[in-house]
């Protein structure tokens, strides 16, 4: 029911935009609504896994993210409308969000060798700094948007509809131009997604323990791994 209602409502919003604002890139409700659709739908399935199914029926991932009680109204709406990820994601699971709110995301992650104990009763957890991850992602986002602004006028995507391009260029040139132009179009999304990732990390979300060198990792959830995405075609072969 949640999946059907969310997708139908989202589809109606997209149809409304196509009718009244076709081919426009103006910011409207459809962007955040796509994130909310992912959140409420994933939460519905996680509640079903936690309440309506036996644990033996669940996969390893389902056991991790299963929700065993119905969230309160405050928990539900704060998760669905959570500000850092509302506009451009990432669409994290409810369990990750609640663990962040309760501070359990720090307790569940393996601690570095320098961790200390307080009166031999509990581990003193030092909250890691996200500065390095935030700086790196913001820097990459700025690079992508600079490339997009600089080179999009040179390779406009609209040219692929022109008669001269269709009739008077070779197949190899078409292939090269389409790949270059569509890559530039993706760069504006990389900018938004990486910037959103940086915002989430800056708020303390996304911590994923420490690597072998004791450095904090901030990749528990992310919108996109740009390099892996761009070279994914080559990895198939």
Using an 8 Å Cβ cutoff, are 124 and 117 in contact? yes
* Local structure of 25: helix, strand or coil: coil
Least confident interval from 75-79, 105-109, 169-173 = 105-109
222's CB contacts (< 8 A; 6+ apart) are 90, 193, 197, 206
How far, in Å, CA of 146 to CA of 137, rounded? Answer: 14
| pLDDT above 70: residue 68 | yes
Convert the pLDDT of each residue in 185-202 to its tens digit: 899 999 999 999 999 999
Q: Mean pLDDT across the chain, nearest whole number?
A: 86
Convert the pLDDT of each residue in 5-29 to its tens digit: 999 999 999 888 888 877 666 667 8
The confidence band for 113, taking pLDDT boundaries of 50, 70 and 90, is low
Q: Would you state the pLDDT for residue 28?
A: 76
Q: Would you state the pLDDT for residue 127?
A: 79
| pLDDT above 90: residue 3 | yes
The CA-CA-CA angle for residues 61, 92, 11, to 5°, reads 105
The confidence band for 214, taking pLDDT boundaries of 50, 70 and 90, is confident
Residue 71: how many other CB atoms lie within 10 Å: 17
* Local structure of 65: helix, strand or coil: helix
| pLDDT above 70: residue 114 | no
Q: Would you state the pLDDT for residue 108?
A: 60
The confidence band for 216, taking pLDDT boundaries of 50, 70 and 90, is confident
CA distances from 152 to 165, 173, 205 (A): 17, 17, 33
Q: Would you state the pLDDT for residue 118?
A: 53
* Local structure of 149: helix, strand or coil: helix
- Give pTM, 2 decimals: 0.81
Alpha carbon 168 to its chain centroid, in Å, reads 41
As a whole number of Å, the CA-based R_g of the chain is: 22
Least confident interval from 85-89, 113-117, 130-134, 177-181 = 113-117
The confidence band for 71, taking pLDDT boundaries of 50, 70 and 90, is very high
* Local structure of 52: helix, strand or coil: coil
The confidence band for 67, taking pLDDT boundaries of 50, 70 and 90, is very high
| pLDDT above 60: residue 115 | no
Q: Which residue has the higher pLDDT, 233 or 181?
A: 181
- Residues of the chain with pLDDT > 70, as a percent, come to 88
Tokens of 230: 């761009």
Q: Would you state the pLDDT for residue 112?
A: 56
Q: Which residue has the higher pLDDT, 165 or 236?
A: 165
């Amino acid at each position: 029911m949640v999946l059907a209602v969310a997708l139908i409502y989202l589809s109606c919003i997209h149809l409304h935009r196509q009718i009244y604002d076709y081919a426009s890139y103006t910011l409207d409700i459809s962007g955040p609504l796509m994130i909310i659709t992912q959140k409420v739908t994933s939460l519905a399935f996680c509640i079903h896994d936690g309440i309506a199914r036996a644990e033996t029926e669940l996969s390893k991932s389902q056991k991790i993210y299963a929700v065993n009680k119905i969230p309160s109204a405050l928990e539900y709406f704060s998760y669905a409308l959570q500000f850092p990820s509302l506009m451009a994601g990432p669409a994290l699971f409810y369990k990750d969000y609640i663990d962040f709110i309760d501070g359990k995301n720090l307790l569940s992650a393996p601690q570095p060798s320098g961790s200390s104990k307080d009166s031999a009763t509990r581990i003193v957890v030092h909250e890691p700094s996200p500065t390095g991850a935030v700086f790196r992602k913001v820097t990459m986002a700025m690079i992508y948007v600079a490339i997009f602004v600089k080179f999009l006028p040179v390779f406009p995507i609209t040219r692929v509809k022109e008669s001269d391009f269709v009739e008077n260029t070779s197949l190899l040139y078409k292939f090269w131009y389409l790949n270059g132009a569509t890559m530039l179009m993706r760069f504006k999304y990389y900018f938004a997604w990486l910037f959103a990732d940086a915002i989430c990390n800056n708020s303390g979300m996304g911590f994923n323990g420490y690597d072998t060198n004791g450095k904090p990792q901030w990749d528990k959830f992310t919108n996109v791994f740009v390099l892996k995405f761009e070279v994914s075609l080559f990895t198939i072969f």
